[in-house]
Chain A
């Protein structure tokens, strides 16, 4: 794509008729960096990018020129990860859960690990409890009170393939293909069990949680759509609505409390206004030069992992 074309694409704004309250959002590209990139997160002035087996740390002090400052390579593929405090919690395939100390961005080090029975596909944290989506066992619950000695509290088996897990301040929410959404309470004693579940999700593959004004909303990517669930009462999840994305192949999303930024494959990034989660509306878009696979928010920036195949992957910086 030419520079002029990029500018035109960057200025592309899409407002859906019939949702007048939503404010259009415009993004423009200010930088990029070639790096293997499947998933991405931002914390402070750093971006964390997982591509293949490697988690790379980028310095975003100059967002127009992101710079690699450190990396850690696992023996297995990284499916996803979450950042909490000075640690990166990494779902690293058959390696299981890896916990990287990222307090020194230039030198991430493996602080702890826990081998899950199958493929670790996703991870979320509620306090010191980690929930790992494992392809064989379902949701493995691991007590990380002592990083020197992670302790398994048990597994919650799901009938389908556990795909991902996300956390609110109190609960974990997990998904499995083909249809499952589960709420788990880490404070509940005994073997892990779902305190609530709903079998209506359409082939879920990624999940994020948003808490706002006493309301907790889960966003699930799957079935070519963003699916929204009210989980304010986690014992009774309620499907609010689903919104098909333009590509029909959304991959992951990030939430900022009011909006969802959706990595929408060949259609780039779609921005959804979630002021009313029952009635989401696309209020902006940015067409990337290659398929958007993940998106991250932080420090006023939007980072998008694009491309397929290590040589073609990069992270673009939007503002």
Chain B
């Protein structure tokens, strides 16, 4: 959207940007620093297309559903190159048939990390971390590079569960260390996707699989394993969440058999039963609560839990309970399959994978509005929603971003089309939206005043 701005408006806009810059100064991890919440910034675009408000678009060689992360003028993405004759992903939720969609590649793959220049879109460097035949199978809709990297501005930390390696690279692309974690198929051999997370000097990785599920902590400077704790799980795709709450800092992990929270040394703090199979959404916190959900459509219940800090032991709901001392609210049929939910303001937004949006009170779980068809043509969604400037953004697998008004009434404001399959959750930083489609990386920014890294 091209807009003419008056000088006072520009001054106000710049002042607002300065006031809110910290929240979106960097985008170091999956869903950014605040679970899809972006500080209001009038520089951020509301509309775009393949040509409108495109600062640049760059072909990214290979395949990968990992999300971009951004630090200053570095945009990091991962991919694998190879297996061009392997089955191609199909949009939507579907029943893939007798093999349930799992596929084994016998082709050589190259596991790649790219650093893309935020200003120009030029690939600044690329680093091949490994070259081999994938050690695990994957679902045809998954990729071998689905884990989003994480960065602290000094290094970028890349985890490829499909290969079982965790590596650190400096910002010039030099590999600093690699740690072999082991590559294992999950129960259904659908591949991996849980991203690493960073806290202090430690990187935390959860790898739930059919052989030896674990959560482990690694020294970010050396890659040395600090601790590893076994987990009684057989597969999950949910990224762990480091929850800094008023009482302590803990690592919340979602899983089929249990939601578990660990302290920073791997000791179990509390656990919770009652999730569906195929746990994908990532926990996140807002208003002093951590939100956890899972929603495989073929299961019931498909729960959402809002949990307050301080729990210990088993906090599972008993019988017909819908809350207890630590579970502030529970919704039995609100869980999502692939998308993570969003709390923006006081409202909890649920993006169902098949094209519906729901809204609940984030503090109480009370329904604000029920299932709203986003648009007649809106079908599959895997990317998680994000929000800024009073708007919710919903990126579909078709590459369409539906823009919805935040607030207690559902109102569709527009649709921005990129005409290519998209599963990765965008990064929003420096007044730009970085969107990854199946083959490309876009920097979407208002063409009248795209911001620079600050």
Contact = CB atoms under 8 A, between A and B. Distances in A.
Given A136-B354, A159-B333, A178-B298, A117 B90 contact: no
B299 A118 contact: no
Contacts of B325: none
Interface in A188-209: 199, 203
B184 to A, nearest CB: 28
Contacts, number: 51
Interface string B343-372: 000000000001110000000000000010
Given A117-B379, A136-B354, A160 B92 contact: no
B355 to A, nearest CB: 8
A4 B299 CA distance: 45
B379 A161 contact: no
Given A159-B297, A161-B297, A178-B299, A135 B95 contact: yes
A136 B380 contact: yes
Q: Which of B95, B299, B333 has the most CB of A within 10 A?
A: B95
Q: Chain B interface secondary structure, helix, strand, loop or mixed?
A: loop
B409 interface: no
Interface string A72-99: 0000010000000000000000100000
B298 A161 contact: yes
Contact of B95 (A117, A119, A159, A178): A119
A160 B300 contact: yes
Contacts of A126: none
A94 B297 contact: no
A118 B379 contact: yes
B98 interface: yes
A118 B98 contact: no
A3 to B, nearest CB: 30
Nearest to A118: B92
A135 B298 contact: no
Contacts of B97: 77
Contact of A157 (B90, B94, B371): B371
B94 A119 contact: yes
A94 B373 CA distance: 21
A121 B299 contact: no
Nearest to B90: A94
Nearest to A309: B98
B93 interface: yes
A199 B302 CA distance: 14
Contacts of A121: 95
A118 B93 contact: yes
Contact of B300 (A117, A179, A308): A179
A194 to B, nearest CB: 14
A136 B299 CA distance: 15
A137 interface: yes
B93 A135 contact: yes
A177 interface: yes
A309 to B, nearest CB: 8
Interface string A218-245: 0000000000000000000000000000
Contacts of A177: 297-298
A157 B379 contact: no
Given A136-B354, A136-B380, A137-B354, A118 B94 contact: yes
A308 B95 contact: no
28 contacts: A94-B90, A117-B379, A118-B94, A119-B92, A135-B93, A135-B94, A135-B95, A136-B92, A136-B94, A137-B354, A137-B379, A157-B356, A157-B371, A159-B297, A159-B300, A159-B302, A159-B333, A160-B297, A160-B298, A160-B299, A161-B93, A161-B297, A177-B297, A178-B298, A178-B299, A178-B300, A203-B298, A308-B98
Interface of B: 90, 92-95, 97-98, 297-300, 302, 333, 354-356, 371, 373, 379-380
